[in-house]
Structure 1
Amino acid sequence: MCAHVLVAEDDPKQAELVRRYLERESHRVTAVHDGRAALDQVRRARPDLLVLDVMMPGVDGLDVCRVVRADPELSTLPVLMLTARSAEDDLLLGLDLGADDYITKPYSPRELMARVRTLLRRATAPAPPPDPVLRVGGLCVDPVRHEVTVDGRQVECTPGEFVLLSLLAAEPGRVFGRAQIISGLHGMDRWSTHRTVDVHVMNLRRKIEHEPNRPRMLITVYGVGYKLVAGDGARG
């Protein structure tokens, strides 16, 4: 799989190292060293994957991710965040903003390349056959058009959120454990955490529930996982 990868990393030596790893797997690489240059390249070159360092001068990686996800023409770009931060809240903030995955420095070249391959496979997977729209109460998930609506109102979802919601909507009422959801999201559960699933669920509740703190559709089954039901709490 040969792709155009944009690497946004303020440390030139680290950026060059990542470039070499990627080029060994026949990817075409563009490297920039600040957030503004990253946004310019994303808009102009439309890469297949963005490898994004969190700590950059001026516009940092979190702001870049926020802008990318807010732009309808860029919102499906796979984003892999690189971070030296160790606090869980900081790590999960990137996912909260819509990053597809993150890796903490220092990381091994093999792990970085494996995550890159996973994200590129997901992004270039063939379109699914025309399955029927999944309906759970007022919630509709269209796997062909990649659209989600609640009572006719369109809901914007990140790729990870859409996969999670599709999984639950395919079998309403069934309880899915976090490990099952992780497998559906990433295909490599050893590189994800249960907390990652919780963040996606929290974000989805903000979008589909009338009262996110008192969910009626996306329900927690304590000690087990989550299920989707035809509740009466969808926003109108």
Structure 2
Amino acid sequence: MTTPHLLLVEDDMALAELVSWHFDKQGFRVSQTADGEEAMLIAREERPDIVLLDWMIENLSGIEVCRRLRRDNDTSNIPIIMMSARGEEEDRVRGLDIGADDYVTKPFSPRELIARVNAVLRRVRPALAGEALSFADIEMDTVGYKVKRAGQTIPLGPTEFRLLRHFLEHPGWVFSRERLLDSVWGHDSDIEIRTVDVHIRRLRKALNANGQPDIIRTVRSAGYALDSELA
């Protein structure tokens, strides 16, 4: 199962350490900051799977961070859960209106927070919940290591399988070759950038073997994406 990456933006250090500890026990990789500006940088550079965002933080408010994440094409699809001691209905509605996926009022139990995070991830990142992945006419069984397109089994090598899985986990996202190299091969890989293109061609050939339209879009000067227009 893929290790989910959580970005925690909280300026109460004691609470942040407690939340980080609980999510670490649940198998999450946690990045942590108390600064809104730094949160924006981490979100753009690391593309976390979900953001836990406090309303009152340093430099930029949580509301403003949420607004900017939603406006930025690189981060607009990252799920966000707002956290605040402000429990009035007007505040909750405001947080949801600017793009938060959920709103948790302090004080909260770690169990409730983990449940809320897992619920959002099940909805937007099914692979992180250990479930099957699908997009358009493609189906992937991540446990049985099987891929089908339009009901036909597609044989894939290990690298092509990981590459397709990454696209299926982030449909519509445009990934540069460098980003794919880090995500699919690993940060310490010494594989050359052009190797990404080789495996993209192999993946396309396998997926299009029965005459289906090409579902992997090449974005000039940017990279590749699973084409949401075919979904």
* TM-score, L = length of structure 1: 0.53
SS, match of residue 76 in structure 1: coil
In structure 1, the residue matched to 2:47 is 46
In structure 1, the residue matched to 2:134 is 127
Q: How does 1:91-130 map to 2 (within 5 A)?
A: 91-125=92-126, 126-130=133-137
In structure 2, the residue matched to 1:62 is 63
Q: Which amino acid aligns with 1:73?
A: D
Distance 1:69 1:130 in 2: 28
SS, match of residue 26 in structure 1: coil
Aligned-residue offset at 1:87: 1.6
Q: Which runs of 5+ in 2 are unaligned?
A: 127-132, 139-170, 173-231
Q: How does 1:68-79 map to 2 (within 5 A)?
A: 68-79=69-80
Q: Which amino acid aligns with 1:104?
A: T
In structure 2, the residue matched to 1:27 is 28
Distance 2:16 2:105 in 1: 15
- Superposed CA RMSD in Å reads 1.7
Aligned-residue offset at 1:121: 1.5
Aligned-residue offset at 1:57: 2.4
Q: How does 1:67-216 map to 2 (within 5 A)?
A: 67-125=68-126, 126-130=133-137
Q: Which amino acid aligns with 2:11?
A: D
Distance 2:90 2:96 in 1: 10
Aligned-residue offset at 1:74: 1.0
Q: 1:57-78 CA distances to partner (integer Å, 9 max, x unpaired)?
A: 2201000000000012211101
Aligned length: 133
Q: Which amino acid aligns with 2:35?
A: D
Higher-Rg structure is 2
Give me the identity figure in percent.
Answer: 43
Aligned-residue offset at 1:128: 4.1
